[in-house]
Amino acid sequence: MISSWSLAAEALRTWGDEVLVPAIEATQAEDAPLVPGDAQCQWCPVRGVHRDFTCPARARWVLESDPSPEEDLSTLFDAPVSDLRGHYEGFLQPVDADRLLQFLERVEVLAADLRHALYQAAASGVDLPGRKLVRGRPGNRSWTDAARVALYASKSLRLRKGVIYKDVLRTPAQIQREVDAGTWRKLEKFVTRPDGKLMLVRADDKRPAVEVDNIFSEDSSND
Ligand code: SF4
Q: What digits encode the pLDDT tens for the residues 196-215? A: 999 999 888 999 999 988 77
> What are the residues whose beta carbons fall under 8 Å from the beta carbon of 23, sequence distance 6 or more?
none
- Cβ pair 1, 7 in contact under 8 A: no
Residues 80-111 have pLDDT tens digits of 555 555 555 555 666 677 888 888 898 898 88
Q: Tell me which residue of 150, 159, 148, 189 sits closest to 172, measured CA to CA.
A: 189
Is the pTM of the predicted complex or chain greater than 0.85?
Answer: no
Please indicate whether residue 40, judged by its CB atom, sits closer than 6 Å to ligand 1.
yes
The best mutation among 27, 28, 34, 114 to test binding of ligand 1, ranked by most ligand atoms within 8 Å of the C-beta, falls on 34
Number of domains into which the chain is organized: 1
* Residue 12 domain-assigned (yes or no): no
Domain span holding position 61: 53-129
* Residue 108 domain-assigned (yes or no): yes
Question: Using CA atoms, how far apart are residues 136 and 113, in angstroms rounded to an integer?
Answer: 20
Residue 29 is classified by DSSP as S
* Residue 99 domain-assigned (yes or no): yes
Once rounded to an integer, what is the mean pLDDT over residues 150-176? 96
Give me ligand 1 centre to Cα 62, in Å. 11
Whose alpha carbon is nearest atom 3 of ligand 1?
34
pLDDT of amino acid 222: 45
The type of residue at 142 is S
